[in-house]
Amino acid sequence: MIAAEPVTDIDITAADMLTLLDEELDGLHVQLCFAELKGPVKDSLKRYGIFGRIGEHHFMPTVGHAVGEYLETHHVGWHDWEDDA
């Protein structure tokens, strides 16, 4: 998962690299996901065809939501260190 909140732009070079990364991860049976991606950046990914390739359901509104989805899907044990405070 990429915590993408700081990303403000995606150019064609970055789009090409994301495509290569997604292809490589697919070969390893790993799903590329994004959290907190800004609307204009998401629009760029749509123009480059990456958004559709990855799939809308792999773009999460927050990192917490992404972690929650992962835990729900994969049924793994989880201890949140923030609960220790």
pTM: 0.81
Integer Cα distance of 72 and 29 in angstroms: 18
What pLDDT band is residue 74 in, cutting at 50, 70 and 90? Answer: confident
Q: Indicate the SS3 state at residue 31.
A: coil
Complete domains list, the chain, with CATH: 2-84 (3.30.750.24)
Burial of 14 (0-12, 13-18, 19+ CB in 10 A): middle
| pLDDT tens-digit map of 26-56 | 999 999 999 999 999 999 999 999 999 999 9
pLDDT of residue 82: 75
pLDDT of residue 77: 81
Q: Encoding tokens for residue 30?
A: 């790993």
